[in-house]
Amino acid sequence: MAKSPYYLTTPIYYVNDRPHIGHAYTTLACDVLARFKRLDGHEVHFLTGTDEHGQKVEKSAQAAGKDPQTFTDEVSQNFRNLAEDMNYSNDDFIRTTEERHLKAAQAIWKAIQANGHIYLDSYAGWYSVRDEAFYAEGELTKGEDGQKLAPTGAEVEWVEEPSYFFDLSKWQEPLLKFYDENPDFIGPDTRRNEVVSFVAGGLKDLSISRTSFKWGIPVPDDTDHIMYVWLDALTNYLTAVGYPDEDNPDYSKFWPADLHMVGKDIVRFHAVYWPAFLMAAGLPLPKRVYAHGWLLNKGEKMSKSLGNVVLPEDLVSQYGLDPVRYYLLREVPFGNDGYISHETMVSRINSDLANDIGNLAQRSLSMIAKNCDGVIPTPGAFTDDDNALLSSAHAVLDDVRSQFDQQAFHRGLETLWKVVGDANRYVDAQAPWALRKTDPDRMATVLYVLAETIRHLGILIQPIMPDAAARMLDQLEIAPDARSFSHLGPDHALVAGTELPKPAPVFPRYVDEEAAD
Ligand code: MSP
């Protein structure tokens, strides 16, 4: 049976800044899931891109002495380069300054308006350019110099201007009913509870247009107004599948989205405003919004002013791409805030990768090279121990799938590494090196079982470490079209007699430069 199509999205990134590890993290999680779903037989549409309108970007362009279009062209390219450098497999890269997006954003506005949910009034209140968000007086705090600050710590300014409003207050009950009927709509549970209590506390109508600057999408039929950047930005998820052309095959295939992955700071926009806009426009709602936590540099929030922003390219050049991809999703429980540091990186690289999976593959394949003439040996009958290992390598997919479906990437990896641990214990217990003289047939069976386990692990780690996995599978002569999850299990087992290339280590140890001197 064909599996359902799967549409997942990253937030679109503000082009006011160069990409840092926080941006790389959100997209990485999506990339791993996108790759996983493809290998699991789904047709996947994986979207990322850049959020290019609004005051924040306009100000950054001014500060850089550039017109906004030139500025956004340049910074958006940095995010495209990041996707390449991190080996992201996105199917599309959207920019909100594209023509297709202008059409979609104006169309959703018109749909909401035609249904009677937009009215003209004037806004007088606080606005934070950094957050691109409106705040009520009661939400503000005081900074050190007594100035008013947003709850996020961002500066706010007083705004007074004509504005169109969205009747968000009317959507309180429909939203609460929707959350209730769709318990998986928001994850993790802590975020879900926060959102539900925020909505239960009452919603105010939302200002959705501005007149005091120009860098944005004009409101249809009233071009003095620019659409509020969040209404513009959220609509990107529809633009990319062809909206407003509801006959577009991508739209019918992929909308509603299966997952919007976001950071915890923007959950309100995705789990409150976005479903309300969609309901008001008469459009289907996404299936899930998952909010992950923040990456902290040795416990501190990363910021330009603290000078502790970690750049993805620096990590990759120091530790290698696949180890960084593994580390980020293994070290920090996804959904929580977590620390990244050199020490924990080195420890993961040397223990989980070099020692555990790296050694397993290297010593097993070297024994085959040395003792079996470099060909996959012919196994005898399998013992209970052999079957136990093979079936754990095969059965692990179900557990990993359900953990990844909950975005519990750290748990999925932990589950996979249990098989790695089982395999290492199996090598120690079977001691194939000792069997060489005493029972070569049994040695052949043990090495076959190990090679077959490594084949499974190689296939299963592809979403996380695509290059390293490919090298492992190349060493077993697995054809590129025999690497999907449907090839797990005994039906596609290694064929005895297959000649293997000379094995080479896939996961080197990390040695500190000082220690190496
Ligand atoms: N443009 C909006 C999103 C619009 S989506 C319709 C935006 N952009 S952003 O560039 O500021 O942030 C994008 C994502 O990066 C957010 O999900 C945010 O949580 C994430 N991160 C930024 N810094 C981060 C960390 N230090 N750690 C983890 N993720 C963080 O918001």
pLDDT for res 372: 97
Between CA 445 and CA 452, with CA 447 as vertex, the angle to 5 degrees is: 95
Look up residue 388 and give its two tokens: 């136990």
Each residue's pLDDT tens digit, 135-166: 989 899 998 888 999 998 899 999 999 999 99
Q: Give the residue, by CA position, lying nearest to ligand 1 atom 6.
A: 234
What is the amino acid identity at position 221? D
Q: Please give the distance, rounded to the nearest whole angstrom, from the Cα atom of residue 474 to the centre of ligand 1.
A: 37
d(CA 203, CA 197): 11
Checking if the pLDDT of 303 tops 90, the result is no
d(CA 376, CA 373): 9
Each residue's pLDDT tens digit, 405-455: 999 999 999 999 999 999 999 999 999 999 999 999 999 999 999 999 999
Helix (H) or strand (E) holding 22: helix 21-39
Contact status, residue 413 vs residue 329, Cβ threshold 8 Å: yes
What percentage of the chain exceeds 90 in pLDDT?
A: 92
Supply the DSSP symbol for 310: P
pLDDT for res 232: 98
Average pLDDT of the chain to the nearest whole number: 96
Categorize the per-residue pLDDT at 206 as very low, low, confident or very high, splitting at 50, 70 and 90. very high
Q: Please give the distance, rounded to the nearest whole angstrom, from the Cα atom of residue 495 to the centre of ligand 1.
A: 47
Each residue's pLDDT tens digit, 370-380: 999 999 999 99
What radius of gyration, in Å, describes the C-alpha atoms of the chain? 26
Contact status, residue 6 vs residue 258, Cβ threshold 8 Å: yes
Look at 182-196, 285-299, 320-334 and tell me which has the smallest mean pLDDT: 285-299
Q: Please give the distance, rounded to the nearest whole angstrom, from the Cα atom of residue 41 to the centre of ligand 1.
A: 30
d(CA 244, CA 249): 12
What percentage of the chain exceeds 70 in pLDDT?
A: 99
pLDDT for res 302: 80
Q: What is the dihedral of CA 110, 113, 115, 117, to 10 degrees?
A: 150
Q: Which of 82, 101, 266 to mutate to test the pocket of ligand 1 (most atoms within 8 A of CB)?
A: 266
pLDDT for res 300: 77
pLDDT for res 516: 54
Q: Report the nearest atom of ligand 1 relative to the CA of 264.
A: 19
Q: Is ligand 1 within 6 A of the CB of residue 58?
A: no
Q: Which of 13, 301, 306, 311 to mutate to test the pocket of ligand 1 (most atoms within 8 A of CB)?
A: 13
Q: Please give the distance, rounded to the nearest whole angstrom, from the Cα atom of residue 8 to the centre of ligand 1.
A: 16
In angstroms, the first-to-last Cα distance of the chain is: 58
pLDDT for res 515: 62
Each residue's pLDDT tens digit, 272-292: 999 999 999 999 999 999 999
pLDDT for res 417: 98
Q: Please give the distance, rounded to the nearest whole angstrom, from the Cα atom of residue 5 to the centre of ligand 1.
A: 26
Q: Is ligand 1 within 6 A of the CB of residue 12?
A: yes
Q: Is ligand 1 within 6 A of the CB of residue 233?
A: yes
pLDDT for res 18: 83
Q: Is ligand 1 within 6 A of the CB of residue 263?
A: yes
Where do the DSSP E strands lie in 129-202? 133-135, 141-142, 148-149, 157-166, 186-187
Checking if the pLDDT of 299 tops 80, the result is no
Q: Give the residue, by CA position, lying nearest to ligand 1 atom 23.
A: 22
Q: Report the nearest atom of ligand 1 relative to the CA of 274.
A: 6
Q: Is ligand 1 within 6 A of the CB of residue 16?
A: no
Query: Residue 384 CA to chain centroid, in angstroms?
Result: 39
Q: Is ligand 1 within 6 A of the CB of residue 291?
A: no
d(CA 217, CA 209): 10
Q: Is ligand 1 within 6 A of the CB of residue 27?
A: no
pLDDT for res 125: 92
Q: Is ligand 1 within 6 A of the CB of residue 51?
A: yes
Q: Please give the distance, rounded to the nearest whole angstrom, from the Cα atom of residue 318 to the centre of ligand 1.
A: 24
Categorize the per-residue pLDDT at 52 as very low, low, confident or very high, splitting at 50, 70 and 90. very high
Q: Please give the distance, rounded to the nearest whole angstrom, from the Cα atom of residue 170 to the centre of ligand 1.
A: 28
Q: Give the residue, by CA position, lying nearest to ligand 1 atom 17.
A: 263
Each residue's pLDDT tens digit, 385-409: 999 999 999 999 999 999 999 999 9
Contact status, residue 262 vs residue 188, Cβ threshold 8 Å: no
Each residue's pLDDT tens digit, 57-92: 999 999 999 999 999 999 999 999 999 999 999 999
pLDDT for res 20: 92
Ordered strands of the 118-128 beta sheet: 133-135, 118-128, 157-166, 206-207
Each residue's pLDDT tens digit, 487-517: 999 999 999 999 999 999 999 999 987 665 5
Q: Is ligand 1 within 6 A of the CB of residue 426?
A: no
Q: Which residues contact 340 (CB under 8 A, 6 or more apart)?
A: 21, 295, 296, 297, 298, 310, 327, 328, 331, 332
Identify the bridge partners of residue 206 per DSSP, sorted by sequence position.
Answer: 166
Q: Give the residue, by CA position, lying nearest to ligand 1 atom 9.
A: 13
pLDDT for res 306: 75
Categorize the per-residue pLDDT at 168 as very low, low, confident or very high, splitting at 50, 70 and 90. very high
Q: Please give the distance, rounded to the nearest whole angstrom, from the Cα atom of residue 441 to the centre of ligand 1.
A: 57
Mean pLDDT (whole number) for 230-248: 97
DSSP string, 60-102: HHHHTTS-HHHHHHHHHHHHHHHHHHTT---SEEEETTSHHHH
Q: Please give the distance, rounded to the nearest whole angstrom, from the Cα atom of residue 296 to the centre of ligand 1.
A: 14
